[in-house]
Amino acid sequence: MPETAYVTTPIYYVNDRPHIGHAYTTTLCDAWARFMRLAGRDVFFLTGTDEHGVKVEKSAQERGMTPRALADEVSAEFRRVLGDFGITNDDFIRTTEPRHERQVERFLERLRDSGAVYLGEFEGWYDESQEEYHTETRAKELDYRSPVSGRPLVRARESNYYFRLSAFTSRLERHLEENPDFVRPAGRRNEVIGRLREGLQDVPITRTNFTWGIPMPGAAGHVVYVWIDALFNYATALGLGEQDPAGSPRARYWPATFHVVGKEILWFHAVVWPALLMALDLPLPRCIYAHAFWIKDGQKMSKSLGNFIDLEAIRGYHDRFGLDAWRWFMATRGPLGASDADFRDAHFREAYLSDLVNTVGNGASRVTAMVERYFEGTLPVVEDPSRVVAGEDWSAALARALRAAEEAASEFAIDRLAEAGIGLMRSLDGFIHRTEPFKIAKDPARRGELALILRQSLEVLEAASALLSPLMPGSMDRLRRALSRPPVAEGGTLAAQVRLDPARTYAGVTKVALFPRVEEPAP
Ligand code: MSP
């Protein structure tokens, strides 16, 4: 049985339409999932929508709709958009589905029975926009304002069910100490450890001020707080809360390899969620990966500034540059690490031109054009004992690229994954520059040498197309068709494709143009 891998995006609120934030997280996860499938892993990739809570209830009211109707509409839009973006999720979970609600209720019963959840009284600083309480220390640090909306925190008092988060402080601290990769990138881990050291308070997990949510079992009027409801999606999609979880065919995917989230929701994922899992005696995810934010021309993106890269703007990029160029930009120029990344039209164009037009596209078209021109598209097996031409040991280079890609994937370093593939294209460019096949072609006596150079170039192109396919699936398929090779296949074929294979036959190679120059001005 192949090793399993499980990657999740946050589930998206249905009171907002899809925008660059959603597109970003989801595209990163998609590239990772595609790579792991190629590498032979048994992958499960989950995304979905977070549909309960006050915010959705309010948005629906404002639009004169029921929360259910709003959720249906927006959730369907998210699903459609994922399709348009070439996302290969294995499931799409909605928190309003009976399978989710039923399991959340069961989880909460278990937590209450074990004493991890109890009925208590609470007063604290509440962030209405985020539906989140802050401790006195934290509230003071925040100057009694929401870090997200900037609106003042309010003093609120409730009788609610609580989760005994405080009881897990030292276990969580120990887990973070002993598992340096539990939170990535490293800077984020330090933030979490720092906040843990301040100590944890129990957190309310039900509310009585709204009804659009999962009812707390056996407690009339209490509705499960949307964040608790939402976090469980990662488990309910696998059936871990069903009566017989081991009987669920998906149970094998737990624990998750990566929960990929934005930095603003790291706390829930790195502290609250693991504590809930500890209380339920379930294994913890291997890593929470928190990326930073896209900003726009140096400013925070916000609805009030009207500078959000929304669905229409994204589609504009798809239409002019192609979906793969968009995916490439997300993967290589985005806020993957701890710092925010600025979305500028000029950056997009620069990345498109230097990486895709001049490097990937140019390398692919040069090599295929020469094979077409000098060998009528056919380069069968070429005799060559050493396979080292012009000092270029391609076997070693391909092995290095494969290792680099695998290591990058194991750290969710999607940018380095992209680099492993495009690095080969740069080396190929250098190789052609040094060996000058277009000059050798003029000398009929050097036909064998020419064949060997182009043969190796084709093999390197093929390897690069495999490594780049998780990021740019459509264009790499086209490249492979031009090479007369089948599309990359899932299930452990990657190592077989990222190596020199003198036995491969290339017949019917045709010149390919992958990334046209785009001249028109910004919209
Ligand atoms: N529903 C919660 C998550 C629950 S998970 C159990 C939520 N939803 S959300 O619709 O607000 O989506 C948040 C996702 O979009 C996060 O990953 C967030 O980081 C991402 N982004 C939102 N704006 C963003 C940017 N400007 N840049 C990058 N990603 C950002 O939170």
Query: Mind listing the pLDDT tens digit for each residue in 405-444?
Result: 999 999 999 999 999 999 999 999 999 999 999 999 999 9
Would you place residue 522 in the very low, low, confident or very high pLDDT band (cuts 50, 70, 90)? low
pLDDT at residue 382, rounded to an integer:
76
CB 307 within 8 A of CB 455: no
SS3 for 369-395, per residue?
HHHHHHHCCEECCCCCCCCEECCEEHH
Please determine, for residue 385, whether its predicted confidence score (pLDDT) is greater than 70. Answer: no
pTM of the model: 0.93
The two tokens of residue 27 are 């595209």
pLDDT at residue 504, rounded to an integer:
87
Calpha distance 255→401 (Å, rounded): 29
Please write the tens of the pLDDT for every residue from 316-349. 999 999 999 999 999 999 999 999 999 999 999 9
pLDDT at residue 313, rounded to an integer:
94
- The residue contributing the CA closest to ligand 1 atom 17 is 262
Please write the tens of the pLDDT for every residue from 165-177. 999 999 999 999 9
Calpha distance 351→349 (Å, rounded): 5
Identify the CATH number of the domain in which residue 449 sits.
Answer: 1.10.730.10
Tracing tokens 């989950």 back to the chain, one arrives at 46
16 within a domain of the structure (yes/no): no
Dihedral, 446, 451, 456, 459 alpha carbons, nearest 10: 170
Please determine, for residue 281, whether its predicted confidence score (pLDDT) is greater than 90. Answer: yes
14 within a domain of the structure (yes/no): no
Cα(390) to centroid(ligand 1), Å? 49
Q: Which of 120-129, 194-203, 210-219 has the lowest mean pLDDT?
A: 120-129
When pLDDT is averaged across residues 203-217 and rounded to a whole number, the result is: 93
439 within a domain of the structure (yes/no): yes
Three-state SS for 218?
Answer: coil
Tracing tokens 């939170």 back to the chain, one arrives at 183
Cα(468) to centroid(ligand 1), Å? 26
Mean pLDDT of the chain: 94
pLDDT at residue 131, rounded to an integer:
79
How are beta strands 132-134 and 12-13 bridged, if at all? Answer: unpaired
When pLDDT is averaged across residues 132-143 and rounded to a whole number, the result is: 90
445 within a domain of the structure (yes/no): yes
Residues with CB under 6 A from ligand 1: 10-13, 16, 21-22, 24-25, 50, 230-231, 233, 261-262, 264-265, 293-294, 301
Calpha distance 118→20 (Å, rounded): 39
Please write the tens of the pLDDT for every residue from 448-492. 999 999 999 999 999 999 999 999 999 999 999 999 999 998 777
Ligand 1 atom nearest to 12, measured from its CA: 10
Number of domains the chain is built from: 1
Q: Which domain holds residue 362?
A: 345-497
390 within a domain of the structure (yes/no): yes
Would you place residue 354 in the very low, low, confident or very high pLDDT band (cuts 50, 70, 90)? very high
Please determine, for residue 207, whether its predicted confidence score (pLDDT) is greater than 70. Answer: yes
Would you place residue 521 in the very low, low, confident or very high pLDDT band (cuts 50, 70, 90)? low
406 within a domain of the structure (yes/no): yes
217 within a domain of the structure (yes/no): no
Q: Which of 183-197, 296-310, 370-384, 505-519 has the lowest mean pLDDT?
A: 296-310
Cα(9) to centroid(ligand 1), Å? 9
Which of 14, 19, 50, when mutated, tests ligand 1's pocket best, judged by the most ligand atoms within 8 Å of its CB? 50
Cα(152) to centroid(ligand 1), Å? 22
459 within a domain of the structure (yes/no): yes
SS3 for 19-32, per residue?
EHHHHHHHHHHHHH
